[in-house]
Each structure stands twice: as C-alpha cells, then as structure tokens.
Structure 1
C-alpha cells in the first residue's frame, strides 16, 4: 500500500485527537486550570488548560506552513500558552480562557489540519523546515516537523494530561 506523507502524518494526528477527546471525559470547567492536588498536596505540573491551550497554538502554525488559511489565535493565548509561558494554578478562573474556548480552538484547528495534511503533496512536505536553528537540525523537512507536532509533541503533552487526571482523582481515560 502506498500512502502519501500527509496521510501518514494525519494517521498520528487522528490518534492523538482521539486520545485528547477521551482525556477530557469527566473534566469539569472549574478544575480545568487547577494544579493537581492528590491528597491535598499541590503538584506544580501542567494542568488541562495549559496542555490544551499550548497545543492549540500549533494547529494554526501547521496550517500556515502548509499554505492554508489559519484561524487567528486569540490574543490571550500567546501570553499564557506559549512555549515560554509558565503554567500557574488559577483557582479564581481569571488567568486562563474558559475550558470551552480552549478546547474548541484546539479541536477546530487540528481537524482542519487533518484535511490540510491529506491534501498536501509529498513534494511540499519535503521542503526545508522554515524554522531554522535547532528545530531544523532535528527536523530538517516540513514533513518531519509536522510529524513531530502531530505525534511526539502532542502525545508528550497529552501524557501530562493523563497524569493530571490521576492527580485530580478522575482516573484513566
């Protein structure tokens, strides 16, 4: 069977999105931006809001890289979800956007990426990674960079979400 690079990358993204959906089961909006606290002991580890918000920034990046229109990232997202942002506990719900806004932007963006990847030629995905620097050294082509975004990067952060669920007493997804 012959499959294009775009379809191959979208296979990983589809798996990641299915896991991301399952991980939200039983998560309440009022705990979405809270640190885990097993036994009342706060653990400073990425919470659900940060995981989904951070990952949501990469859907528009991927779309732009693939030559597609991308939704505008809400202004507040860059400040609190960038790779340089620090995840903080938000007991009053005033730091992070609401759960519905974060998860909607996440899923809408990546579902659009799925279609874009499947429509992208192998030739386009073999183009040099435009980031430059260490990321281009690690991922020399656009395809290898997007395979990381759709697979390794997403699953790494979803693993944090899985651990957070357990700290919150929600259990496995």
Structure 2
C-alpha cells in the first residue's frame, strides 16, 4: 500500500479535481491501527513494553482523534516513525497470536464496552486485526486511487 507514497503526501487529504476529500490519509490510518497491536499483545498476556504507543500517538490517532490535513508536515509524526511503529506492533501481535494457546481466545472479553458485540478475547482480536484493520486499509486503497497512485 505504501508503494509510491511520498513523505509529502503521507499526511495529506486527497484532492480530486478541485475537491478536497476529507477522509483518513495514510498517516492517520497506519497511526490509528498501530494503537491496536499493543492492546492485542497485552490482552493475550504478552509483553508490549517495546511497542506501547506514545502519548503523541494516542493524541493524534485514537478512536476519538480527528484526521486533519497536514500540508506543512508539522502536525503528525514522520512517515518513517508511523510506518515503523505500525510494522513493529503488528509483527509483535502476529507473533503473540501464534504463540497463544487456543483456550485463551475463549476467555471473556475484558473490554466491557465491546463485550456485547465481541464476547470473547478471540472475537475482539479477530475484529481488531481483521474487520477493523481491513476497513482502514480500504480507506488507504481509496486514498491511493484519489491521489492517482492506482492499486498497490
């Protein structure tokens, strides 16, 4: 998905003709998704100390944060930092998933707000690393097309 995406474009809204498309840009998408990998690792009993999000990441990329256009590149962390945080976190999450006994996934979801939708830890993390992940990657794909970058 990052093929052809420059640092200058990374935190910019797409523009189609003369219309600015106020939709999540790659910086926000990858930054936002990077917040969920440590949660997966932690809730499965793993050590997430090396991948915990910084306060800056939480402030910019939480579920309550609003994606904004960053034409001067001074609002968000750098492309390099966001991409590296995303990759490290998801590598740790995948490793943790592979090492977790099946019985752990059947335990009740500790996230009370989400228990009704996702009653088990396994259901919650399938959403975080499945449906939630793909929803945002779909946004990235649409952004690429609007930016004239085509399919990755």
Could you say which structure has the greater relative contact order, defined with CA pairs below 8 angstroms and 6 or more residues apart?
A: 1
Q: Which has the higher helix share?
A: 1
1:76-125 alpha-carbon deviations (Å, 9 max, x no partner): 10001000000000001111100110010001111111111011111111
Aligned to 2:150: 171
Structure 1 residue 65 corresponds to structure 2 residue 43? yes
1:14-56 alpha-carbon deviations (Å, 9 max, x no partner): xxxxxxxxx1111001110000001232110000100000000
Aligned to 1:151: 130
TM-score normalised by L of structure 2: 0.96
Q: Distance in 1 between matches of 2:127 and 2:52?
A: 22
Equivalent pairs, count: 150
CA RMSD of aligned residues (A): 0.8
Aligned to 1:6: none
How much has 1:72 moved relative to structure 2? 2.2
How much has 1:74 moved relative to structure 2? 1.7
Aligned to 2:139: 160
TM-score normalised by L of structure 1: 0.85
Q: Distance in 2 between matches of 1:130 and 1:94?
A: 37
Structure 2 residue ranges without an equivalent (≥5): none
User: Residues 43-62 of structure 1: matches in 2 within 5 Å?
Assistant: 43-62=21-40
2:10 to 13, 24, 32: 32
Structure 1 residue ranges without an equivalent (≥5): 1-22
Runs of 4+ in 1 over 3 A off after TM superposition: none
